[in-house]
Amino acid sequence: IALAAVRKVGRSLKYIASSLQMDREIVLEAVRQDGTALDHAASALQLDREVAFEAVRKTGCSLKYIAAALQSDREIVLEALRQDSQALEHAAPALQQDREIVFEAVRKDGWALNY
């Protein structure tokens, strides 16, 4: 039932049992439907690179919900920026100064320079 629920509405992850919020398969399905569902995943899964990548692939701003260690992952940040240039705000400070990263953000939206 939980898997069917998150496939339909990813953020329903918030309402399922905490033991299921630790289930990688359920969390992957949830973030594939809505990347911001990562906010309700167990912290161990917020550290999971594949889960984080799927979340930002669907919803760029979900970069703010992934573990800090992954906010400095160049590939994840670039994918987030392809979806939402404002995700730059949640990238690690070193990447906020990176020429390629900033270019990708500004290419989509000049307002990204605010971050």
Q: Is 43 exposed, middle or buried (0-12, 13-18, 19+ CB in 10 A)?
A: exposed
Q: Is 17 exposed, middle or buried (0-12, 13-18, 19+ CB in 10 A)?
A: exposed
Written as one string, the DSSP assignment of 30-59 is HHHH-GGGGGGS-HHHHT-HHHHHHHHHH-
pTM for the predicted model, two decimal places: 0.88
Q: What is the mean pLDDT for each group of 10 consecutive residues in the chain (115 residues)?
A: 94 96 98 97 97 98 96 97 92 94 80 57
- Residue 42 is predicted with a pLDDT of 97
Alpha carbon of 109 to those of 36, 59, 81: distances in Å? 21, 16, 10
The residue extents of the domains of the chain are 2-114
CA pair distance 37, 74, nearest whole angstrom: 22
Q: Is 55 exposed, middle or buried (0-12, 13-18, 19+ CB in 10 A)?
A: buried
